[in-house]
Structure 1
Amino acid sequence: MNFEIPVLLTTKAMPRARDSSEAIYNRCIVIEMTNVVEEHEARAARVSLGLPADSLVGEAMAAMEGPGILNWAMDGLDRLRARGRYDPPASVREANRRFRDDNNTVAAWMSAAVEKDPCCKVSRNDLRCSFNGWQREEMGAEARAWGGRQFFLQVRRLAPYANVDGSQADDGERFIWGVRMTSAGLRFWEDHRLEPLSNGTKGYSSREQDVNRYHDGVSGSETSRRTEF
């Protein structure tokens, strides 16, 4: 469904978004309502305005100042039309960033599936295989395989300690240095190998114990000896 007007949602908790692109976040303006009015403050405001004890200050203000509030809103609309775009303040940009990061599926997978390890390297396809397995577990039939470019852009941002470019084996397979897959990550990897998503990689390694491979820190090193943990 496409809306021709902005949609206002109010919620106590941010919604979950499963869009793997930036589309949702580019279209959202998150405004956090952080000002909490204590009951004694509300009572004092009602008294100062001469309102009944069971009335709402907001409704009273709208009734008394409605025309002024409308004019204020129309002035804002004029500025928006003249500018041609929204110009959110820093607080809104930060709230938008947190909304995007909290819904980052790659970040959620990495928190469970990947650990920092300078002496280990993992095949790019094994990492994507594990991520696809996590997606299937989390999203069921809605899960869709990600392309490598989109996936590794996120990994690069979320794991600055890892060498995403890594090394390349004789058969062309590329490895990421500085990470190893956890037991949960290996389970996701195995699950996806057994039941892969459409167009989803089945990984590179043929055995679970070969996923985490020793890395000696030397560029171009192609040793495939697995790490011992």
Structure 2
Amino acid sequence: MTFAIVEPDAQLASREANHRFLNTLTALHGLLRNDFGGFVDPAVRDAVSVFSSRIQAFASVHRTLGEDSGQDRVDAAAHLAKLCAELCAAHLAPRGVRCEFRSDPANLPREVCQKLSLIVVELVTNAAKHAFGGRSGGRVSVSLRRAGDGWICQVADNGSGLGGGGAGDGMKLVRGLAQALGGALLVHSDAGGVIVTLRLADPDA
């Protein structure tokens, strides 16, 4: 006698929704490249490249966090290391900028890891686009470390600082995600670069 393992309807629906969402992102990436990739204007081509890479990065976040969907927790250190490598290849390396990543061992709830990942995507993308003004040889560092009874996630660059005061749409998104995590966000900017620090309470406390 054989037995078939039947997934609960909710889990099947979740897998199907995940698959459809990834297909949508793939289609959007293709449409963007096809519709705007032929422009000669360097500014348009650069904008298309950055936005296309951002779509790919978000797809990577969703794909990785969609793996083993029955698990409620994620190896955040391994996931963020993979994400930073992908962001570096897509955004930083083509500009001659390197990326460094360090993390303490971190097994975090999936929802927390997802929001942290989106924050890192946005901050690294912003640094690649605005921090270095066309110069090469820059550095973006990402870290996640234990701090007392909580966590600190930090993204820093050695670029030219925030000329506009950090009030762009990217930072608004980051602040919204930080608020959703119940975290405290600190942004320091000067001529030596930008340091964005997110302090989180231990989600298991």
Same fold (TM over 0.5): no
Structure number with the higher helix fraction is: 2
Q: Please say which structure displays the higher CA radius of gyration.
A: 1
More strand, by proportion: 2
TM-score by length of 2: 0.26
TM-score, normalisation: structure 1: 0.24
